[in-house]
């Protein structure tokens, strides 16, 4: 029982961490249909910026802000220079964002060097509470809370606010939204920048959890994020959230019961979903 609770907690927190990365992807890819292959790079820029600032200021709040700012800034430049020209052309998006990924990753390694950089959990969030045999790591609770808040906030934004209506309408018919006097490109840019900031937030949050940043973490987490969006279903933000939790929990349980299989569980999970429900658990259907 204790094992079960511990595993569930750790799975949930991993899931929420994945969700933070995936939430940006879910907005940009799932909703706007822009396949951003540099999403992992944005995540990494966030992680590096966060670690760099935290090492100098010892303030995790500043690290969070700096990371998100870095993500937003890179996202903004990227949108202006490339994405803007290729809305609606998925093959071009994959191709170009891959190039952007190369450049962004190489810029990071040119600045910070190719080696891993260690970091720690901020003191306030370090340590754990113990209830009998149940050990609750504080930082995990923190990620669960942050993930939950982000999920709520974005869901509210999409379903209730004017920006949400514009985005949903713009996804359906860009031209018609423009004709109503709305600069849809600007709104899309904003969403892209916001999604980039979310990816970077995931990076800042992830770094203390694994204790270091390295140049391989981008592509790894991007893949997880994509798996989660596929499992949840394109265009369903809450689906991505649920997908994240499923992947997190599945990873935690398999790691405990069948450690050998833990590497494969994500890929197998995704393969299963694709086999049985090709549009994902909450997918909107084909095109």
Q: What does the per-residue mask of binding to another protein show for 130-169, with x meaning CB under 8 A?
A: --------------------------------x--xx-xx
Whether residue 18 contacts residue 225, with contact meaning beta carbons closer than 8 Å, is answered with yes
- Give the residue with the Cβ less far from another protein, 123 or 287: 287
How far are the Cα atoms of 93, 129, 221, 237, 244 from residue 83, in angstroms, in the given order?
7, 46, 21, 21, 26
Q: Which residues of 59-95 are buried (b: 16+ CB within 10 A; e: fewer)?
A: ebeebbbbbbebbbbbbbebbeebbeebbeeeeebee
According to CB under 8 A, which residues from 90 to 119 bind another protein? Answer: 90-92, 94-96, 98-100, 102-103, 105-107, 109-110
CB count within 10 Å of CB 149 equals 10
- Tell me how far apart the alpha carbons of residues 243 and 225 are, in angstroms, rounded to a whole number: 9
Q: Does 179 bind another protein (CB under 8 A)?
A: yes
Name residues contacting another protein, limited to 203-222 (CB under 8 A): 219-220
Give 153 or 264: the residue with its C-beta nearer to another protein.
264
Q: Among 45, 52, 33, 31, which residue's Cα sits nearest to residue 200?
A: 45
What element of type H or E holds 136? strand 134-137
Interacting stretch for another protein, rule CB under 8 A, among 3-11, 52-60, 63-71, 273-281?
273-281
Site for another protein contains 264 (CB under 8 A): yes
Which residues contribute to the site for another protein (CB under 8 A)? 35, 37, 82, 85, 88-92, 94-96, 98-100, 102-103, 105-107, 109-110, 162, 165-166, 168-169, 171-173, 175-184, 219-220, 223, 226-227, 230, 263-264, 266-267, 270-271, 274-275, 278-279, 286-287
């Amino acid at each position: 029982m204790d094992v079960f609770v511990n595993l569930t907690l750790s799975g949930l927190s991993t899931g929420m961490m994945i969700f933070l990365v995936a939430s940006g992807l879910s907005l940009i890819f799932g909703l706007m249909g822009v396949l951003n292959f540099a999403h992992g790079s944005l995540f990494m820029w966030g992680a590096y910026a966060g670690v760099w600032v935290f090492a100098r200021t010892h303030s995790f709040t500043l690290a969070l802000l700096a990371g998100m700012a870095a993500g937003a800034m890179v996202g903004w430049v990227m949108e202006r220079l490339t994405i803007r020209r290729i809305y609606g052309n998925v093959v071009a998006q994959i191709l170009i964002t891959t190039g952007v990924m190369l450049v962004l990753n190489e810029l990071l390694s040119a600045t910070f060097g190719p080696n891993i950089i260690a970091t720690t959990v901020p003191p306030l969030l370090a340590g754990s509470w113990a209830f009998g045999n149940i050990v609750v790591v504080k930082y995990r609770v923190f990620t669960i809370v942050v993930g939950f808040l982000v999920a709520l906030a974005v869901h509210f934004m999409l379903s209730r606010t004017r920006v949400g209506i514009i985005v949903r309408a713009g996804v359906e018919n860009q031209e018609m939204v423009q004709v109503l006097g709305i600069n849809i490109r600007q709104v899309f840019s904003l969403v892209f920048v916001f999604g980039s900031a979310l990816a970077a937030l995931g990076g800042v949050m992830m770094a203390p959890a694994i204790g270091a940043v390295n140049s391989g973490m981008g592509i790894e987490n991007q893949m997880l994020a994509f798996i989660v969006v596929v499992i949840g279903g394109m265009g369903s933000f809450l689906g991505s959230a649920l997908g994240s939790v499923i992947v997190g929990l599945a990873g935690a349980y398999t790691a405990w019961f069948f450690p050998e299989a833990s590497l494969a569980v994500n890929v197998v999970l995704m393969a299963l979903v694709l086999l049985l429900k090709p549009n994902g658990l909450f997918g909107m259907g084909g095109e």
